[in-house]
Structure 1
Amino acid sequence: MGKFVEWFKIHLSKLKTIFLISVIVIVIFELSNIAKTISLDQLSDIFSRISLKNILLMALIGLISVTPMIGYDFTLNHILEQKPKKLYVFETSWFVNTLNNIAGFGGVVSAGLRSEFYGKQTSGKKVIQALSKILVFTMSGLSIYALLSFFLVIFDDHNEYLRQYWIWLIAGGLYFPIVFCLSLFGKGEYLGDLKSSHRLQLIGYSFLEWTGVLVSFISTGLLMGVSVSVRDVVPLFIAATVIGIVSMIPGELGSFDLMMIFGLSALGTSRETVIAWILLFRLFYYLVPFAIGLILFFKNISSTINERYKGIPLSLLKEVAHKLESFLLYFTGIMLVLSATIPEAFIRVSFLRHLNPIHSRVIVVFPAILLGFLLMVLGRGVSARVKRAYIPTIVIVAATFLYSMLAGFRLSSGVFLTLVLLFVIFSKNELFREQLVYSAEWLTIDGIIMGSLAILYIIIGVYNSPKIHHRHRLPDFFLFPSEQIWVVGFIAIFIGAFFVLLLIRFLKNKRIQIGETLDESRIQHILTTHGGNADSQLVFLNDKKVFYYNDGEEDTVFFQLSTFNNKILVMGDPSGKATDFESATEELIKQADRYNYLPVFYENSEEMVMILHEFGYDFIKFGERAHVFLPDFTMSGKKMKGQRASFNKVLKEGYQFDVLKPPFSAETMQNLRSISDEWLDGRKEKGFSLGFFSEDYLQRAPIAVIKNGGDDIVAFANFMPTYTDNIGTIDLMRHSPEKAPGGTMDFLFINLFQYMRDELGLEYFDLGMAPLANVGTSRKSFTQERIAYLVYNFGSRFYSFGGLKDYKDKYATKWLPEYVLYSRDSWIGYVMIALLITDNAPVQGEKKYRGLRRFIFKT
């Protein structure tokens, strides 16, 4: 015996697993048996003859009838001297008892599950003792009713038919007195030491449980309109139940059913009615409560699994459920519109008939089209996780439910729409975004779906028009009831479009954008304290928003960004404290997500690629940034022959290089503006990724100039502080086409290299990025990179990308890859279009002078 106990302890976890698997197999088997006895068409036909109010009453009574069984588990925990959370006891008890109703097996299943749920903190022996007390008393209520029924059939001779069951009634009736006496006078640990309060509680719960069973069964018949005598039904029901329990058949399937069919038929109720009665009883007392129990069970078991695996299973499940909910809303909407568009197809084509979740006997065109389009828009709102979509979705799904009822209620339609409604209700916490920002991607998808449905409807109308002669017989697929009904639907499309726009406007809410206006003191603090990069100075152009990151004590990082549709275009790497880049990026993505935006990171380094890859971002190479290693820069050598000639030519003509320090006089600024305007030649200047002519911006750093012999400025380039110790660069580089000789740009570059090396002691000169350099040109390139190349290359009318790369290559020592990073929810084509439009948008502001800047240094 000792060896067996030891073996049992060693293999306990495996035995538990085997037990749970066995329970699952039993439940699946029994549910399949129940399913075989239930025909959806039959139930649908039954429901069609019963009012909705009575159906709801049946369901409510069934749920209330199951509730007393929960008391067993509260008493069990009192006996075990445990105090688990009441909600946990309620949920687990509901599942255990509703499962036991179906699985049966003399309470073995419920005992095993109760041991698993409530016995983990108590010794096994104590759990078994407590469970024995509970299980023994669960039948006491049935026994009491059996005794009462025995006396009823013996001393009331109005129905001789029921007397044949006296032996089963007396057998069941003797159970309670025997158990009661054993618990009262017995000495054993498994029954005799039960407290009086616990004994009375168990007897009371059992009596209420079996009262609930009787009430549920009898009320189902009465609500069906069956005329029966309660005093006849009760003894028959109790006798049939006793026989079913003695047989230990799960759910008393078969034996109970046969006895009730024969018995009630003998009492004057037609067999078909009895079968329907039993079906409805099983549905509302067994299946519906068990379905709720399954939901509660998976809620609890998923919490346990979720904690064990650090929340990943729950997040995956929520994601799947959310996508399924969005799909169901779209699917229902599409089916509604199609059923109104091609009603004949849904009657004649079995595939469509079975596919359609809304089985209505009558198709009412106007509400079907209106509700269909609204459901699709709400599907988009739910898919976008917009808070404001919650209430409208419940209202429209409920309206669809009402429509399906009025158009000819079918059980399958009711179950489907109830399922959709439950998905919506339980997914409320998944809707966290403050607004809907309708992206180009979503507009494309929804436009194709809704546009195709509208076009199909118009085509159907044209094909069915009696004014159009058809040489061939119309296919059945395109048949429509009448031209008048089609016109109603056509009007419904226009009215639906109006309500769709209203709904979209409601979901959009008041547009909130990410980022703040430039605060120079905050920016200067970050740059001087923590440093920056080659793009940091662009922030002072004030043509972009700024996102600040605060570590709890001070601002440490900022991003430059611009918003286009649902995309937040982030210019360059973040500036500031490098160790906070990951936290700052996460905060930006989180804020953008809350307001339904998708960040796109433009011109980013490999370091940002690694950070954003952790957040699920895809990336493509967008170009290469050229760096000149200044300590090795020299004019000698064969490679520099052309540059050397240009430099010497300009120098011989009397032109000089100089660096002007701010502040600059009004006369100097006017001269620079004249050169800039002459260089622009009336073309509009752009913003975002490069500087434009702004006096405030130019006053912030030195300006390199080229002067002729008359000391007139003919070309200039403003220094661009990088807030680092080893990199220098410039921004605007402009010259007078009339006054500056050929080779001026080379002359300016070479002097800048020498000045920054010799005077400033810098290591590298940043020539900026060459867009699309070595991107998408290889046959092995990523498809996204090829798309990017096509969109950006053909979309830009002003820049010669190939020429830019060749020009910078004359000086570049090394090329550093630059990337565009985007969310996987974005389409690369639309990402590139957004960047193209934003990067080429005319500068907005107080400036009267706008113009095109060339891609000499950056883009």
Structure 2
Amino acid sequence: MGLKKKHITLFLSFALFTSALWVIHRELGHFSYFDIRRAITAIPSQRILLSFFCSIVSYLLLTGNDLLALLHIGRRIPYGKTIFASFLSYAISYNVGFSVFSSGSIRYRLYSPLGLSLFDVGQITAFCGMSFWIGALALGGGAFLLEPPTLFVTLGIHWSARTVGVLCLSLLSGIFLLSFWGKTITLAGHTIKFPSTRLLSSQLILAAFDWLSASLVLFLLLPSSPDMHYLSFLGLFVICELSGGMSQVPGGLGVFDSLFLVLLSPHYSSPTLMGSLLIYRLIYYILPLLIATFSLMFLEASVLLKGKPMATSIFSAISPSIPTIFSILTFISGLILLASGATPGIENRLLFLKKIFPLALLETSHFLGSVTGLFLLFLSRGLALRLREAHTGVVLLLISGTVFSLFKGADYEEAIVLLIVAVSLAPARKIFYRRSRFMEQPFSFTWFLLIITAVASTVWLGLFSFRHVPYSHELWWQVAFEKDAPRFLRMLLGITILTLCFSLWRLSRPARVKPSKLTAEDLSLARMLVSLSPEASSALALTGDKYFLFSSNKNAMIMYQVRESHWIAMGDPIGDVDDSRELIWLFTEMADRYGGQVAFYEVGETFIDTYIELGFSLIKIGEKALVSLEDFSLEGSHFKSQRHTISQKEKEGVIFKIYPPQDVPSILSQLKEVSDGWLSTKNTKEKGFSLGFFSESYIASCPVAVLIQDNTIIAFANVWEGANKETLSIDLMRYRPDTSPGLMDYLFLKLILFGKDNGFKWFDLGMAPLSGLRDHRLAPLWNRLGHLIYRHGEHFYNFQGIRQYKDKYRPIWVPQYLAFSPKGPLTGFLLDISLLISGGFHGLWGK
């Protein structure tokens, strides 16, 4: 259902953009491309500089929203980092569209490494969104009330405009009343309060000046008009801006522009308005995005040069956003090349080229430049997915596009832009670490729709630019320096064929199949990877109750289960680190193809950066106890009781022995008898997923430690051994019901001493659930809830007892996390994980 809603939203945005394009076409119907070019060149350079200054002021004011928001929620972050994070979120979200979600996700990526929770970031995003609306209500309402736009007067509804103004100011007054009364909202257990009246007043002043600055960016680009005063313009600007924002089209592109053309057409000619809009978009949208990119590259250079710890920490926080930024810039670069190929060249530049280069070079460069633009649109998706292949391809295409721009029309402006993007992107190679092939990646519906929209816009732009040229069949074959229209037709045919071929190829690809049951080959490969893994817990892959996803070169794997719409991986990937990072992406993409949400259960800190890059949320679920065996000793008063346990059991005639895997089948019947007796006293059933269970094939795959008394096995534990003797651990620990107390302590101690004597580095005692969660008033809700259960949930589970038992061995406690997709609620993931471990509802509720 969620996917259908997403597609409906995209279709609505596409429909709005298409309608806006039709309106623009209608408004410009009596004019030519050259009229718009003349309108742009007619804008005085002083006004362009003033407009650029107002844009700077507007973005500086926008960063103040984050500062006020942090003050409102009582969190402190260094001033410089706040300004930087705020600017990046606005510069990117304004160009991406879906500003609530895009700015929220970008803020979370930038603020979470600085200690802010998902809820904190949500409050900041809501606060900044509120600033946008109260500024619109204040200035829009004031403008409508004091000077209704001429259009409303012409239509005879000027009183309606003033009524709208009164309503806007009334809504604003209502917000201030709620703030004065101190109203709060409870959402998902969180209490959200309105800003104080003082803070709200500051927010209003900041928002109002931001709206004034942003509107002046466009107003200064328009020529003076006796019947268009700034106050009247401001009301129309608010209408256009709100309409563009609500359309969810990136930057309100098309929607804002078409409405602006319609509302101001009584005062200015359409070419004048269109020329001003183009410069406005360059100054207020494209340039901030480029500045954000250069800032990131400066920070990366500071990191590479070292010695700048603040730059290093900032860069580590914002690096996950770099692929998104370069993906947008690459898409824009492709649009520039396509738009350039669909419009006439500048006459004096073509005459200059005619004197130096042959016609064939110009024709070839024009066609290849447009094809390069189309390929940049496609590969921009690869940058968003962090593909190394896409990084290399985009850099080469940008350099090629730079050369083609110069040879096809001496378009040095676009050549400079393309070269700057290429030079900025090239050093960022390490961020694009994924080694998957671009053609193997899923091509999202959203991206495909964006490309179709871009190609359709290019077609419209070309038809509009050459509408004065009468069509004939001979036009296709005319070749000359001054023949721009034939070049456009040939370019149009080329990009249309390439787009159709790519679309047909994607549609004809065989459907991906859902995971099937395990095969002997799968288990054999998993066994090999487990044997090479230093993590002893990797042996959980041998239980046979999980699916496997292997990397293309079979050097890494993920073990997972699927329950309902949740695809839950057990632990971090196993195998090569670089291949494992790639595999996390592939696993997430595979789940997304089937509408699933992903979680990685009980993971460490090795791949946290990759989980954050994917937009996952992380919560701490406990701590794992690791005993250092290199310096472990039972000497001293602390281990007095442990030494007594060993002495007592040896006096009782208990013998410790380890059977290698090849000898385990000879004792399986006795082990089964011990296991059945243990289960009968526990009133429970076998567990799974994150715990092993008694299966002859599984038990026989590992060494087994046994305790023998009177020639009878009275207890056992299957032993996990990490590669290179890195870690040693156990899974099942079972004993006969009629044995004496202290048997498990004796087995633990003997295994730890066995690991020390045989050169193992660590003994893994496993995780203590909910251990290490803090009950601080600023801690996230999950931490406080988990701490409460840990302290008072002994009736359901011996949380504190497990921690205290493992603490006897003086371990190092290592945090463990759940990384999960924010598309799914946390409660749903936790329930399905519990059901997978317990084997269903019966096992979940059974003691």
TM norm. shorter chain > 0.5: no
Q: TM-score, normalised by structure 2?
A: 0.42
Q: TM-score, normalised by structure 1?
A: 0.42
